[in-house]
Amino acid sequence: MIVKVINRSGLDLPSYETPGSAGMDLRAAINDPVELKAGCRTMIPTGLFVEIPVGYEMQVRPRSGLAAKKGITVLNSPGTVDSDYRGEICVILYNSSTESFVIERGERIAQAIVAKYERVEWSSVEELSSTERGAGGFGSTGL
């Protein structure tokens, strides 16, 4: 699938790092370093504008290494870029650690996955089919 992109970042386009990668790294398109203090959030631009085909979305997710090593995550994870959005892709980063984190230009801050989705129509009913699990949720099947 081909996705149209305008790249105003001055950085390389996102790419798959390995043959088995599902996501492509998004980079910070900032001119000056940004300090993200502990417990705070900020929006970081990528300089990318995309035209996602109808029936697909771009999901913006945290990078596992950044989350595990530094406590930096994508706040609205996964963030969704709809097929009719034409603005700049920005990433809402949150620092869950107790230390400040400095974001540098070109740093890999999140990953993007383009995924197909289905649209549904609701059918109002009075009863749902029964299952073994039933209404059990939020840890009902174990931790």
The two three-digit tokens of residue 89, written as one number: 């892709």
Ordered by start, the domain boundaries in the chain are 4-13+25-116
Q: What is the pTM of this model?
A: 0.88
* Whole-angstrom distance, CA of residue 114 vs CA of residue 57: 6
143, pLDDT greater than 70? no
pLDDT digits 0-9 by tens, 74-111? 999 999 999 999 999 999 999 999 999 999 999 999 99
Kindly tell me if the per-residue pLDDT of 142 is higher than 80. Answer: no
Q: Find out whether 84 and 55 touch, Cβ atoms under 8 Å.
A: no
**CATH architecture of residue range(s) 4-13+25-116:** Distorted Sandwich (2.70)
